[in-house]
Every structure is written in structure tokens, then in C-alpha cells.
Amino acid sequence: MEASKIHTENDQQRNISLWKNSNFLLLWGANVTSLFGLQVYMIVMPLIIYDLSKSALAMSTMRMIEILPNILLGIVAGVIVDRLSRKKIMTVTVVFQWLSIAGILLLLLFQGIQLWSLFLLGFIFSSSGYFFLNAYHSSIPQLISKEQLTDANAKFSFVDTMIRMIGPGIVGFVLAATSFQKTVSIQLICISAMFVLIRLIKVPLVDQKGKQNSFWIDVKEGIMELIGNKVLLTPTVAILLINLSSSIIIGILLFFAVDIIGVSESEVGLMLSLGAIGGLFGALLLKKLVRHFPRGKIFTYVLVFEFIGYGILVFANSWLVIGMALAIRTFAVTIVNIIYLAFRQEFTPNHLLGRVAGTTSMLMKLAMPVGFLFAGLWAEWLPVRHLFVLTTIIVSLIFISLFRTRFYNIA
């Protein structure tokens, strides 16, 4: 009876304005608190590790541990998200995140913190966060109409970019004025707020289509859905290659800026902030673009901006030029990612969405260490600027290939 009531209430809200949809607002609020808490984590955790070890290897090991859940648990998370209540999964994973950060705070307070404990708690935090994000993204189509998915993802992306821009400055100020312990306490407050907001959301149960398969059959079903869904497979392959080129740039950009161009530490901050501005414009402009052009065409033609961004890096000679190149590139990447998320939510049956999201996320994250390693080896033996030429070639090939696909004309 209660589940039926939730379905009825959700059906009434799905087609109303996003800002009048209470479930959307609660999810949006949970996203805001989650993102700000994550900024605390991303800044404080490396500093704690460095303070303990004075080791770049220890810091990079933590970065690898944060990526591992996407690779190791991607498909597993997808099956669980499709089988169980997505609200319960979000609730439980927020509790695990709270416990892991509370554990770090207690170790700091009692001065018992060690590297192995940070690695363990960091893995629990990252794994819980990955399960949360899968359930979070899979629940969005249950709360709003298909016609609103692109707009909703644009709103999520806008606030994500905004917090990434202003968050580090706020966290840095708090950290400078207080201590590790008090700064980590802020993240604990953010996670507590997330818990309250998630508990208030009314997410209907997933329709299992009357089936209860084995785990491996469920895994296969998700993989086959991705392979057989030609509308979704095309942008998935495109983004896989885009992520590969992005990871190549990320892996070498700071080395290029500091070692070759001679950018100072303060200029690095300005450069990255300038780059993030492109994401804000992308999220704001997309809603207007989709009114006039098919999303497949927008996805395709916006790659021209990514091509231009990489092309500018080939000739960059100052932090300002690098920042402008990053802004142009981020503009394109933001639009591509928003459209892809909306397509995945719109063209995947909801009872398979967790598995498809888990599979695609795993594939895309696998591209990152490959790109990092490739960029590092290249920089050891070959000119870095030639690497930027390579990424422009990759993007141009993706652009040309999309013209021959059905996806190109999809609205």
C-alpha cells in the first residue's frame, strides 16, 4: 500500500517544473552537500597523507585506491542497484561514508592515524561513494520525466562545476584558519545533511519484470543491453576515447605547465579556475541548444571545441593561454557528459540502468590509468607538445566517425 502511494505521488510530480518537484529538490540538495563534502576530502586527505609520510608515492597510492572501486565494483554495484531499493542503497552507503570519515576524525583527534588506516578508510569511503552515485543516477529517471532529463543533468553539472571552482578556496581558507580535525568535521556535517535529505526522498521500487536471475545472468543481461543498444553504444565508445585523451592531458598538464612553461604555484590555481569556467557556460548553454538542434548533432559538433582546446595547448606559452585552452575544452566535455548521462537514463530500461551504468563507468575508468601511464612514458622520451597533437588527432577521428552513426541524428 505504501509503495503504491509513493508511485502515485511520484507520477504526479514527474512532469511538473523541476524546481517544484520536491523529490528533485531533495536529490539536488543531497548532491550539493555531497559535492562540497567531497571537496573537503579531496584537499584534506592528500595533505594528511603528505604530513604523515612526506611521500609522493603514498599520495599517488591513495589516488589509485580512490579509482579502484570503479574498476573492481562497477558491475557488482550495477547488479545490486537494479535488484534492491535505490533509496535504501543511497541511505546505507551514506552511513558507510559517515562512518569512514568519522573514523578518520577520531584517529586525528587521538593521534593514532597511520597510512594503512587512511588507505582502508579511504577505500571504504570511495567504494560507498561509487555505489551511492550509481543508485543516485539510476533513480533520477524514476523521479522526473524523460523530457526533463537533459535539463536536470545540466543543473547537476552546473552546481558540480561551481562547487569545484569555489570549494577549494573555501576549504583552503578553513584549513588555514583551523586544523585538519575541524575541517574534516565539516565533511561529517555535510554527510549528515545528505543522510537527512536522502531519507526524505520518495523513490519507487524498481520493476524486476517478474524475474530473479542469478548474479552472472544479471551481469550478462546488463552487458548485452549495452552492446545491443546502438543508440547508447555509439556515444559510450566515443566517451571512452574522449576519456582516454583527457587522461593523457591530465597526466601531463601540470608537468607541462610548471616544468616547461615555468608557471608558478599561484598561477596554477588561476589556470585551473579559468578552465572550470568553461563548464559553467556549457551547462547553462545546453538547455538553449537542445531547443533548436538534435542532441546527437550537439554532441558531435561540440567536439570541435575540444579539438580547438587541444590545438591551443600545442602552442601555449603562458598560464593564461593554458587556462583558455582548458576552458574551451571543459565547455565541450561538460556538454558531452550531460547529453550522455541523459541518453543513458532515457534509452536504457530502468530495471537495467544500474548494470549499464556500472559497466560503462568501469570501462571509462579503465581508460584513465592507461592514459596516465602513456603520458608519463611519452614525457620521458618525446616532446610533450607532440602529445597534444596526438589528442587532437584522436578527437578529430571521433568527430568524423560520428557522422556515419544513427546517434548523430537522435533528438
Angle (CA) 296 322 310, round 5°: 40
pLDDT at 92: 94
Distance between alpha carbon 216 and the CA centroid of its chain, in Å?
Answer: 27
Which pLDDT score is estimated for 152? 84
Cell numbers representing residue 85 in the block = 531499493
CA angle 393, 395, 397 (to 5 degrees): 70
Instruction: Write the single-letter amino acid at 395.
Output: V
Domain ranges of the chain: 2-202, 219-409
Fold match between 2-202 and 219-409? yes
Confidence at residue 251, expressed as pLDDT on a 0 to 100 scale: 65
Q: Which residues contact 226 (CB under 8 A, 6 or more apart)?
A: 232, 233, 236, 356, 359, 360
H/E stretch holding 148 = none
C-alpha cell at 30: 543531497
In this prediction, residue 1 carries a pLDDT of 44
- Closest by Cα among 246, 332, 343, 233 to 286: 332
Whole-angstrom distance, CA of residue 236 vs CA of residue 357: 10
> Could you give the CA distance from residue 150 to residue 187 in angstroms, rounded to a whole number?
29
Report helix, strand and coil shares of the chain as percent, to nearest 5. Answer: 85, 0, 15
Assigned C-alpha cell, 121: 578508510
Q: Say whether domain 219-409 belongs to CATH 1.20.1250.20.
A: yes
Q: Are 314 and 259 in contact (CB under 8 A)?
A: no
Q: List the one residue out of 400, 243, 393, 408 whose CA is nearest residue 307.
A: 393
Contact 190, 33 (CB under 8 A): yes
pLDDT at 9: 54
**Cα–Cα distance for residue pair 190/360, rounded to 1 Å:** 29
Question: CATH number for the 2-202 domain, one of 3.40.50.10310, 3.40.50.300, 1.20.1250.20, 2.60.120.10?
Answer: 1.20.1250.20
Could you identify the residue written with the cell 574551451? 328
The per-residue pLDDT for 210 is: 46
Please tell me the distance from the alpha carbon of residue 47 to that of residue 103, in angstroms, as a whole number: 17
According to DSSP H, which parts of 290-352 are helical? Answer: 295-301, 303-315, 319-347
154 three-state secondary structure = helix
pLDDT digits (tens, 9 = 90+) for 269-317: 677 778 888 888 888 888 888 888 888 899 999 999 999 999 999 898 8
pTM: predicted TM-score of the whole model, two decimal places: 0.77
In angstroms, how far is the first alpha carbon of the chain from the final one? 38
Question: What DSSP string runs through 209-272?
Answer: TT----HHHHHHHHHHHHHH-HHHHHHHHHHHHHHHHHHHHHHHHHHIIIIII---HHHHHHHH
How far, CA to CA in Å, does 57 sit from each of 46, 49, 108, 154?
A: 11, 10, 22, 36
Residues of the chain with pLDDT under 50: 1-2, 210
Residue-wise pLDDT tens digits, 258-268: 778 887 766 77
Q: What is the pLDDT of residue 212?
A: 65
